[in-house]
Amino acid sequence: MPIPAPLTGVVPPVCTPLTPDREVDVPSLIKLVDHLVDAGVDALFVLGSSSEAAYLTDAQRRLVVGTVKAHLGGRLPLLAGVIDMTTPRVLDHVASVTAAGADAVVATAPFYARTHPAEIARHYRLVAARSSVPVFAYDLPVSVHTKLDAELVLELAADGVLAGLKDSSGDLGGFRAVVTGARTRPGVAGFSVLTGSELVVDSALALGADGAVPGLANVDPHGYVRIDRLCREGDWERARAEQERLCALFGMVGVGDSGRMGSGSSALGAFKAALYLRGVISCPVTAEPQVPLSEGEVERVGKYLATAGLL
């Protein structure tokens, strides 16, 4: 199905449930998709950071896209990450995920390789030229170690290279430049500007963003759907209250002991523990070499859920 232009609303970056031996847990993945669709989200994004895409083998990635596509049918648009180091490797993923049914692909700038703005532009132009579906840029400096420049994004949008941006940079000022540019610049009609932040979705929508891709929407999709609806109704006060409730819930990402594990292990472990505690998935395990949460840390996730009224 064609991706709306622009794509609006809540687009959860779907977690990838795993079995205890770290294979994709297909029944749990289907239950998670139902959990999200039933909450009224607008599209799904698989194989992003919240999906542990960096930890999934190519076979697992294909299985995820195929499973979600088959279960979703044409009900909602399906975006898929094509996370890899450089153009030739990304193009292999583009072929793979579009064959499995992705309606759009989401690509970062090159990483690991030393890069340059001219090479980033060249990368997106090549990916778009060989992709049969629209290409979204994924700005994630914490992983990619460069920041996508607003001007570059708008130039690639105007040239029809990029169909949208998922901005997880945390820099709302640069995000605004893309939002405003996408509205005012000739040739950029229909470009989708999506925030990847969990914490300022109301702010992003207020300044004109099309939608949001918050990892925490796995845990509480209803909350983000409510924010989106309240913002569209112009009820900023209640949107803010809902956002503040979700900010408190987001505190769960810090349950893991930083002496024992990285912030990624803690955050993804917390999301999966929450999905497990809410009965959505069968096993909270994360991919290797992430360190699992302790029993006490999982209990603290439960307290966050209880406080947010989710248990």
> Which residues are documented as binding site?
213
Q: Taking CB under 8 A as the rule, does residue 21 contact its own copies?
A: no
What are the residues facing 46 on neighbouring strands? Answer: 80
The yes-or-no answer on residue 272 being catalytic is: no
For its own copies, the binding residues in 253-282 under the rule CB under 8 A are: 259-265
Catalytic residue among 31, 69, 166, 272: 166
Q: Taking CB under 8 A as the rule, does residue 173 contact its own copies?
A: yes
Q: How far is the CB of 75 from its own copies (least distance, A)?
A: 30
Out of 6, 40, 66, 170, point to the residue binding its own copies (CB under 8 A). 170
Nearer to its own copies, 78 or 94 (CB): 94
Contact 194, 228 (CB under 8 A): no
Out of 5, 39, 126, 283, point to the residue binding its own copies (CB under 8 A). 126
Residues 6+ apart with CB under 8 A from 249: 216, 219, 220, 223, 304, 305, 307, 308, 310
Nearer to its own copies, 244 or 299 (CB): 244
The yes-or-no answer on residue 276 being catalytic is: no
Give residue for tokens 């994630």.
Answer: 140
Nearer to its own copies, 180 or 282 (CB): 180
Give residue for tokens 């289907």.
Answer: 30
Q: How far is the CB of 277 from its own copies (least distance, A)?
A: 23
Q: How far is CA 208 from the centre of its chain?
A: 19
φ/ψ region of 214 (left if φ > 0, alpha if ψ in -120 to 50, else beta) reads beta
Contact 208, 180 (CB under 8 A): yes
- Side by side, the strands of the sheet bearing 104-107 are 9-10, 211-212, 192-195, 164-167, 135-139, 104-107, 78-81, 44-46
Query: Which of the ranges 27-35, 193-201, 217-225, 298-306 carries the binding residues for its own copies, by CB under 8 A?
Result: 193-201
Q: Taking CB under 8 A as the rule, does residue 144 contact its own copies?
A: yes
Mark 186-212 as b/e (b = at least 16 C-beta within 10 Å).
eebeebbbbbbbbbbbbbbbeeebbbb
Catalytic residue among 138, 224, 276, 304: 138
Residues in the chain: 311
Q: Taking CB under 8 A as the rule, does residue 50 contact its own copies?
A: no
How far is 293 from 86, CA to CA, in rounded Å? 33
Q: Taking CB under 8 A as the rule, does residue 132 contact its own copies?
A: no
Judged by the rule CB under 8 A, the positions of this chain that interact with its own copies are 22, 54-58, 60, 83, 85-89, 91-92, 110-116, 118-120, 122-123, 126, 142-145, 170-173, 176-177, 180, 197-200, 202-203, 206-208, 236, 240, 243-244, 247, 259-265, 287-291
Active-site residue numbers? 138, 166
